[in-house]
Amino acid sequence: MNTTAFLDILSRAEKLKCNTRHSWTSSGRHESVAEHSWCLALMAMLVGDEFPELDMDKVIRMCLIHDLGEAFTGDIPAFEKKKEDETKEDEIFEKWIDSFPEPSRTEFLKLLKEMKERQTREAKLYKALDNLEAVIQHNEADIATWLPLEYDLQFTYGADKVGFSPYMQKLKEAIDQVTQEKIKISLRNDSSH
């Protein structure tokens, strides 16, 4: 890739460091989209041993690029995102990718198509991890940052994505246990005031 294209792509991708998500960090500030993508890629690396038959390099690449469209649109929380928002983000992202030099253009478009179709185990794993990362991050944040609807969403978000893998089902159960404990402690603290 020539240096101009390289720097142009990084300049746009840098916006993910500036664009914040609905999630909060444990230190009490909004999480950036870039932080989410980094944690997601780390999660994929950490579960790699559980999926020896998968192309984990591909899963990590999916994790790293999955929200690049938000460099243009910003983040819209899943519970507010409409089909039109997804379509707009996809269109802008694909138009941007069309400007990439080869072979990056073809690789990104191929990954994006696989991620959207979610037919391969790699794409299913990436999407399950994407949903679970948001739930894990909410557990890391102070419960005071949660919206009322998130008490239920913590248990349902991503539950429909883990069925392809016994390990991912077990991970979701472990995350749910952390959520239950967090809510229980919060209720205990509220009743003692």
Structure confidence at residue 144 (pLDDT): 93
Q: Under a CB-based contact definition with an 8 Å cutoff, are residues 126 and 66 in contact?
A: yes
- Rounded CA separation 90/104 (Å): 17
Stretch 94-113: mean pLDDT, rounded? 95
Q: How confident is the model over 157-191, as pLDDT tens digits?
A: 999 999 999 999 999 999 999 999 999 988 877 76
Cα dihedral: 34, 45, 7, 13 (round 10) = -20
Q: Does the structure show a pLDDT above 90 at 98? A: yes
- Rounded CA separation 69/65 (Å): 8
What pLDDT band is residue 193 in, cutting at 50, 70 and 90?
low
Phi and psi (nearest 5°) for 29?
-125, 160
Q: Which fold has domain 3-191?
A: Hypothetical protein af1432 (1.10.3210)
Comparing CA positions, the residue from 108, 7, 1 lying closest to residue 64 is: 108
Structure confidence at residue 157 (pLDDT): 96
Q: How confident is the model over 114-142, as pLDDT tens digits?
A: 999 999 999 999 999 999 999 999 999 99
For the chain, which residues make up each domain, given as ranges?
3-191
- Rounded CA separation 158/172 (Å): 8
